[in-house]
């Protein structure tokens, strides 16, 4: 390593929230800059951070003697700054003579989770992304306190900046275990009451508030000048843009503005007189509306539910229905009622099936449909709408000898989907249950290839020719003969099937006999043992392939196309008309947006939520965003600058669920490691780059790699 030296730094952190003195070993370049900075000519360097106790001994460099340096919040003794990302590759080791030498150590820093304090995932995800933004890491590890503006009435007297600096220091130096960001939240809540308490908030709104708050705390302008507005008529756009940005910087000069704020222009043109009005604005992020999809893709949801006949009058059949995304279970039942032509003397009993058993019955009609996931398996049982009937639940197991007498042991080899039928008799015995099982199994019988369908009901999913055959008198006679044959067989033996009772705790009784009385209750659950003979007589494959709820095919849009649509010229809406200064009337002017100046850190906010007077809906469209070499040159309004604007994605805030009951996570790339990690509150795990594109992407963080 030529012409480089080590600096041993003792960071005396004087904040109340950090009581530990931290020794930092820095491999610094003699050239005064780091390779991550433009124009750096030195070899690749890295910053190493180690927790080596309270010792204040100095570092003796093995290749070049150098005196110790001290870095604290009030002293900027490190030339060149901090690299784009941090990794602990060396640590100071003190030998028996008191000298400190460098020892290789491979430890990745920055992989520390933040504990959820109660609906604070919105804050955790935004803090993680911002704390892994290279310019912020550099700035807050150096002398940011020199920029604190204690006299700014719009700021927090530096307390918000100090709170964020302390948090960032913990994430990068104390990096061992997840910790609660309680101190940061408490200090933030003192100045922003909307974030006090433990309600869910929007991560993008929080992020913009935090950036604005840091800007005001770190605004280098102590006395803001008065700036008189000027007339921009008949002047070149480039001149107007430079002057507008100069005025903006005259009262807003901070690291946040330097790295995160850009400039855009909006051009309004009167459709009658041709008057043109140009306005230059600054932005912290670009909020891009997603393309409006047809109604079924935006506010509705396609669901698949399999309907079973409780009276054995037909085979199981999956139905695809469309319901409102923000709807309730009652909406799903109404849609299924219409799809399967349910009569007034029938009802549907919905259940979620998992592990070949009924996981839960869905009977609360006001259950939000958002609680039902795409991976769930739903069955609707078609039953008589009569009071006093006993529900009979049938689960199936493969034939075999089992030691345990409990379903919960996991020993039993269950198969298929559970069946629900009903018992009309008041006195229930093994023979009564056997007849009910035989009835509900009748469509599965292999003795005929024609299924007995409900009388006077046409199957809308079959051609009319087949329907006519199925409902012919010959078919009805054949189906009836099958039932008669079944009854004849049954008269030769006590029971057709072998089954046992299962109680509410999953305990299995001995096999039932025909004359075994069963205590009357509202629901009876049995475990049916499938013998080889049963498999020969009945086709169990109809019970084994139950489709998941799934989702409709996702619409996919590209980020460049969304940005292009955002910037295209379009007329103003009737509620946003512009008053033309020449015509002295309100006009639906044509408006054109352009990007004029882009920051080093560029944020894209995908506006997934749509609002109307009564409801809030989320757009789950998949946005295909570039990860590497995102060229924004063609979107720039200043064509006179022949510059290349290349950006690289390094962080994502994801949102899952809806606005009221959603969850935020972050996906972040450690640039030096060239690896992506998933930050889900306290949990941090690695993730492949190929898996970061999801329909949950909400805020995208890009950094400029070439300009």
Tell me if 11 sits within 8 A of 51, measured CB to CB: no
Does residue 27 or residue 184 have the better pLDDT? 184
Taking the model in full, what pTM does it have?
0.58
Q: Which long-range contacts (CB under 8 A, 24 or more apart) does 331-338 make?
A: 331/369, 332/303, 332/305, 332/369, 332/372, 333/365, 333/380, 336/305, 336/307, 336/380
Cβ neighbours of 206 (radius 10 Å)? 22
Q: What percent of the chain has pLDDT over 90?
A: 28
Does residue 230 or residue 480 have the better pLDDT? 230
Mean pLDDT, residues 156-168 taken together: 91
Mean pLDDT, residues 92-100 taken together: 45
Which residues belong to the active site?
121, 663
pLDDT in tens, 227-262: 766 655 667 778 888 888 888 888 888 999 999 999
**pLDDT at res. 36:** 39
**pLDDT at res. 661:** 65
Range with lowest mean pLDDT among 103-107, 536-540, 659-663: 103-107
**pLDDT at res. 234:** 66
**pLDDT at res. 51:** 32
Name the pLDDT band for 625 (thresholds 50, 70, 90).
very high
Mean pLDDT, residues 584-594 taken together: 86
Pairing of strands 523-530, 517-518: unpaired
E strand or H helix at 4? strand 4-11
**pLDDT at res. 34:** 38
Beta strands in 253-374 (DSSP E): 262-269, 276-283, 286-289, 300-309, 317-324, 346-354, 357-362
Mean pLDDT, residues 329-339 taken together: 90
Q: What percent of the chain has pLDDT over 70?
A: 71
Domain ranges of the chain: 1-107, 295-543
**pLDDT at res. 403:** 55
Q: Is the pLDDT of residue 112 over 50?
A: yes
Does residue 229 or residue 581 have the better pLDDT? 581
**pLDDT at res. 262:** 92
Tokens coding 33: 């800059």
Mean pLDDT, residues 149-156 taken together: 85
Name the pLDDT band for 293 (thresholds 50, 70, 90).
low
């Amino acid at each position: 390593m030529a012409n480089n030296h080590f600096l041993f730094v003792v960071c005396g952190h004087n904040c109340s929230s950090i009581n530990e003195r931290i020794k930092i070993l820095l491999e610094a370049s003699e050239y005064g800059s780091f390779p991550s900075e433009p124009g750096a000519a030195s070899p690749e360097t890295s910053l190493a951070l180690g927790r080596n106790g309270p010792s204040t001994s100095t570092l003796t460099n093995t290749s070049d003697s150098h005196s110790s340096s001290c870095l604290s919040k009030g002293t900027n003794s490190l030339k060149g700054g901090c690299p784009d990302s941090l990794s602990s590759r060396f640590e100071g080791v003190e030998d028996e003579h008191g000298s400190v030498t460098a020892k290789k150590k491979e430890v990745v820093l920055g992989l520390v989770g933040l504990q959820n304090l109660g609906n604070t995932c919105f804050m955790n995800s935004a803090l993680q992304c911002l704390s892994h933004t290279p310019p912020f890491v550099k700035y807050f590890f150096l002398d940011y306190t020199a920029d604190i503006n204690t006299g700014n009435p719009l700021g927090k007297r530096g307390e918000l900046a100090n709170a964020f600096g302390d948090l960032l220091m913990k994430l990068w130096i104390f990096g061992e275990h997840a910790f609660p960001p309680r101190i940061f939240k408490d200090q933030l809540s003192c100045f922003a009451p909307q974030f006090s308490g433990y309600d869910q908030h929007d991560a993008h709104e929080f992020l913009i508030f935090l950036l604005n708050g840091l800007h005001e705390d770190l605004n280098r302008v102590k006395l803001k000048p008065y700036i008189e507005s000027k007339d921009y008529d008949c002047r070149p756009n480039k001149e107007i843009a430079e002057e507008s940005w100069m005025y903006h910087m005259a009262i807003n000069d901070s690291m946040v503005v330097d790295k995160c704020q850009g400039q855009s222009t909006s051009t309004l043109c009167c459709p009658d007189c041709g008057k043109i009005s140009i306005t230059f604005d600054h932005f912290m992020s670009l909020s891009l509306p997603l393309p409006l999809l047809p109604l079924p893709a935006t506010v509705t949801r396609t669901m698949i539910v399999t309907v079973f006949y409780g009276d054995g009058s037909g085979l199981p059949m999956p139905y695809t229905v469309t319901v409102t995304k923000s709807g309730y279970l009652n909406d799903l039942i109404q849609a299924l009622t219409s799809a399967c032509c349910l009569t007034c003397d029938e009802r549907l009993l919905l259940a979620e099936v998992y592990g070949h058993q009924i996981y839960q019955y869905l009977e609360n009609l006001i259950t939000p449909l958002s609680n039902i996931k795409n991976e769930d398996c739903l069955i609707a049982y078609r039953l008589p709408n009569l009071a006093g009937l006993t529900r009979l639940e049938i689960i199936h197991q493969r034939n075999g000898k089992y030691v345990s007498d409990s379903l919960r042991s996991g020993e039993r080899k269950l198969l298929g989907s559970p069946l629900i039928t009903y018992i009309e008799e008041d006195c229930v015995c093994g023979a009564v249950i056997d007849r009910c099982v035989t009835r509900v199994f009748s469509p599965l019988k292999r003795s005929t290839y024609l299924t007995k369908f409900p009388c006077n009901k046409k199957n809308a999913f079959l051609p009319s020719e087949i329907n006519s055959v199925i409902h012919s008198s010959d078919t009805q006679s054949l189906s009836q003969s099958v039932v008669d044959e079944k009854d004849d067989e049954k008269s030769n033996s006590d029971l057709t099937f072998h089954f046992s009772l299962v109680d509410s705790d999953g305990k299995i009784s001995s096999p039932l006999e025909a004359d075994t009385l069963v205590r009357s209750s509202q629901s009876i659950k049995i475990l049916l043992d499938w013998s080889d003979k049963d498999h020969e007589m009945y086709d169990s494959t109809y019970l084994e392939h139950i489709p998941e709820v799934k989702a409709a095919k996702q619409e996919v849009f590209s980020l460049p196309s969304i940005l292009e649509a955002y910037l295209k010229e379009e007329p103003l809406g009737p509620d946003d008309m512009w008053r033309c200064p020449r015509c002295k009337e309100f006009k639906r002017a044509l408006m054109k947006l352009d990007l004029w100046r882009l920051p080093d850190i560029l944020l894209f906010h995908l506006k997934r939520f749509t609002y109307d007077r009564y409801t809030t809906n989320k757009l789950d469209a998949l946005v295909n965003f570039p990860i590497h070499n995102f060229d924004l040159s063609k979107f720039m309004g200043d064509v006179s600058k022949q510059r290349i604007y290349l950006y690289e994605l390094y962080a994502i805030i994801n949102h899952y669920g809806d606005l009221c009951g959603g969850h935020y996570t972050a996906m972040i790339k450690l640039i030096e490691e060239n690896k992506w990690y998933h930050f889900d509150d306290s949990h941090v795990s690695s993730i492949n780059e190929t898996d970061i594109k999801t329909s949950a992407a909400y805020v995208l963080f890009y950094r400029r790699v070439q300009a």
